[in-house]
C-alpha cells in the first residue's frame, strides 16, 4: 500500500462514521453492545420523547456523555488533526456526535448529526456544555427545557451544516471515508458527490460496504491501524 503525500492535494476531506470512534471504545448504537439494544430510542432519542419527559431524556444523554468521556481519541484522530496544522485545507465531515475529532485538536469539523456537547433552547439558540453532567437543564434566559443539539430519529439535518459539508465535498480532491457503513442517506450519498466532482476516493473499513466498488481504493483495515501507515 502506497503512502499518501498530502502535498499532492489541495483539499483533503475526511468523512467519518461510528467506526472512526470504535478503537476509542465509544459504544455503538446498533450491533453487539449497541445502545439501542438496551434502550428504546422512542423513549430517549426523538422530539416526542423529549416533550413527554425532558428530564429522562437529558439524564440519558448525560450517561452517553459519561461513556464518551471515559474514552480517548486514538492515533487516527491525531493523524487527522496534525494534518490540519500542516496542510492549508483539511475538512472533517462526521456523522459522530462524540466530539472525538475536536478533542484530538481538529477545528474544521462539520457535525452532520449534532453534538453531545451542546444544548439548544427553542428561543435562545445553542449553548456549549462540556462535562459529565449538564450545567443546567433549562435556559437561563427563559426557563425553557434545553434539548441536546443532536439530530434524533425523525429530525431533519441542519441545512446550514449540510450546505457547508456538500460545498466542501464538491471542492475536495482527496476524499477519505472512514468507518461508515454508507447506508444512511443523505450522508451515504457523499462519496458519490466527491467522485462525480473528480476527487480521488479512498475507503477505510474492516469490511466491504455497498459503496466499496465505487472507490478508487477500498482498504480493509481499521482507522487506528491504517491512518498512521497511509500518512
Residues that bind ligand NAD (CB under 6 A): 17-19, 21-23, 26, 28-30, 95-98, 113, 178-181, 184, 204-207, 209, 222-223
- For ligand NAD, the closer of residues 68 and 139 by Cβ is 68
Query: Can you say whether the dihedral through the CA atoms of 111, 113, 117, 123 is positive or negative?
Result: positive
- For ligand NAD, the closer of residues 100 and 121 by Cβ is 100
- For ligand NAD, the closer of residues 139 and 187 by Cβ is 187
Q: Which residues are catalytic?
A: 113
Give the nearest distance from C-beta 25 to ligand NAD in angstroms. Answer: 10
Give the nearest distance from C-beta 144 to ligand NAD in angstroms. Answer: 26
- For ligand NAD, the closer of residues 12 and 204 by Cβ is 204
Q: What angle do CA 176, 105, 180 make, to 5 degrees?
A: 30
Q: Which three cell numbers stand for residue 44?
A: 430517549
If you count them, how many residues does the chain have?
231
**Number of helices and strands in the chain (H, E):** 9, 9
Rounded Cα distance between 24 and 210, Å, is 25
Give the nearest distance from C-beta 101 to ligand NAD in angstroms. Answer: 10
Give the nearest distance from C-beta 168 to ligand NAD in angstroms. Answer: 18
The answer to whether the beta carbons of residues 12 and 227 sit under 8 Å apart is: no
Amino acid at each position: 500500500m502506497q503512502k499518501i503525500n498530502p502535498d499532492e492535494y489541495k483539499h483533503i476531506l475526511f468523512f467519518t462514521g461510528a467506526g472512526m470512534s470504535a478503537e476509542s471504545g465509544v459504544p455503538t448504537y446498533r450491533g453487539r453492545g449497541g445502545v439501542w439494544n438496551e434502550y428504546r430510542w422512542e423513549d430517549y432519542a426523538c422530539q416526542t420523547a423529549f416533550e413527554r419527559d425532558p428530564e429522562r431524556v437529558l439524564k440519558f444523554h448525560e450517561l452517553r456523555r459519561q461513556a464518551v468521556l471515559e474514552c480517548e481519541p486514538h492515533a487516527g484522530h491525531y493523524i487527522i488533526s496534525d494534518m490540519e496544522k500542516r496542510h492549508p485545507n483539511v475538512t472533517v465531515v462526521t456523522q459522530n456526535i462524540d466530539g472525538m475529532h475536536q478533542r484530538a485538536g481538529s477545528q474544521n469539523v462539520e457535525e452532520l448529526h449534532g453534538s453531545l456537547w451542546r444544548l439548544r433552547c427553542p428561543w435562545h439558540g445553542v449553548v456549549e456544555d462540556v462535562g459529565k453532567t449538564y450545567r443546567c437543564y433549562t435556559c437561563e434566559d427563559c426557563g425553557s427545557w434545553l434539548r441536546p443539539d443532536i439530530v434524533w430519529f425523525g429530525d431533519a439535518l441542519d441545512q446550514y451544516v449540510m450546505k457547508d459539508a456538500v460545498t466542501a465535498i464538491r471542492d475536495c480532491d482527496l476524499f477519505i471515508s472512514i468507518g461508515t457503513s454508507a447506508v444512511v442517506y443523505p450522508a451515504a450519498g457523499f462519496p458519490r458527490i466527491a467522485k462525480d466532482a473528480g476527487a480521488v476516493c479512498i475507503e477505510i473499513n474492516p469490511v466491504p460496504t455497498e459503496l466499496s466498488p465505487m472507490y478508487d481504493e477500498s482498504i480493509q483495515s481499521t482507522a487506528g491501524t491504517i491512518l498512521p501507515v497511509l500518512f
